[in-house]
Structure 1
Amino acid sequence: MPQLLSGRTQPRWWPVGTKGSIVRASLSLLLASAVVPLLPLPAPAAEVCSSSQSTVAETGCVIAALKTMDQTLEKALARVAKEAKEVPSEVFQTLWRDNLTGFYKTSADPKAQASAFRAERRKICAYAKSMAFQGTGYGIFTTRCELALTQTLLDQLKP
């Protein structure tokens, strides 16, 4: 197989060949999404958005950090899509698209992927907040959760 731009011969996100592997991968993602709120914040948000700020200042800070991280995510997804298009294999292209559109009910378009990720991320973080059962800090909690989930995905998309 020819080398990709990154020098690897096979991308990390290569479609999984067996249904059992897909189920295991899905279960791993589900488990990771349940644990992410327990993990420390990604470095940029933790460094920039101190909880010693006023609530208004902290809220503005985490929202700005999330917007910046979302822009980074869109660029990373575009890079992955570009790498996928450069793989000279019709079989790979079909598997990649079918995996995204069929199993994951999303799109091969990076902007649509980012939008779908943001929607699911909001749901997961709202659910996590409801489990924490604390009445204050909803916006800050959920935005920090969204930052952590986005950082986790960005870490997986690194070249």
Structure 2
Amino acid sequence: MTRLAVLMPTYNAGSYIRDSIDSILNQTFEDFHLYIYDDCSTDDTEDIVAGYDDQRLFYKKNQENLGIAKTLNKGLDYLLPHYKYVARMDADDWSYPQRFELQLKMFEQDADLIMCGTQGYWLTDLNKIPLNKWKYPNDYKTLRISLLFSGSFGH
């Protein structure tokens, strides 16, 4: 049974969704399903996704534009009963190849763990990693306090 689903909402992401999809499909951990939820894109997003021939990729298109929050909730309603883990990915993001391997290892090492995030960078060029990365808390006490005031998980 596949334990991991990846939820990727998209809206008019044609200019960068290919890099995002490729970074997911090229993970070192390969036993997952990628669900792309299209929020009524008017660009070539659907054509780009249709160009992939990978049985792990599933494309769903909203009947009407719902916005990212409702699109994510729609995806979660569908995925949570069927998968042990759900990973988030935006259509303009890129993941290192070992992302899922390392995150799942964290869950295996700590049965009490319920969320696992990542650090991130603002990129303008995938070939140049900037020196400054986002600083998310990585200890329990700081994380609890931080969650009161901001988004504290990079997905």
Give 1 or 2: higher helix fraction: 1
Give TM-score scaled by structure 2 length: 0.28
Bigger relative contact order, structure 1 or 2 (CA pairs below 8 A, ≥6 apart): 1
Query: Which protein shows a greater Rg?
Result: 1
Give 1 or 2: higher strand fraction: 2
